[in-house]
Structure 1
Amino acid sequence: MLEDWALWQKYTHRTQFVYVPKTTSFYRTPLHPEAQISRMKGLNASYNIVRNRMDAWRASWDEKAAQR
């Protein structure tokens, strides 16, 4: 879970977003409430794991950039 969020974290690290006046992606949610709840539980359980991984990635990236 949250692979796309982690990827966007990498894309935007030390860069700026640029407005593109068109739809570039769609976000879909489950139809049934039970599936929505299950999905949200999975996202919540994954959040801190992925956030810690991204914090470590940023620190490593910045360290490598400082060495250049």
Structure 2
Amino acid sequence: MCCTCVGAILFSSGAIQLPHHKLALPEKICPVCQRPFSWRKKWQRDWAMVKYCSERCRRQSKGLT
């Protein structure tokens, strides 16, 4: 195993899966469905303005007011 594969999981098929380090991403609670959602790269510039976890929740919020 090379030094770049430290912490990797080796399957019997020979495939290597590298560990994901997404545990420390910021989270918010969606005001519509009350579920937590995590930061996404596509929200990188607008994270402060993101309120809803999905387009569906955003559309539902328009009907609640």
- Shorter-chain TM range is under 0.3
More strand by share: 2
Which has the greater radius of gyration? 2
Pick 1 or 2: higher relative contact order, CA cutoff 8 A, min separation 6: 1
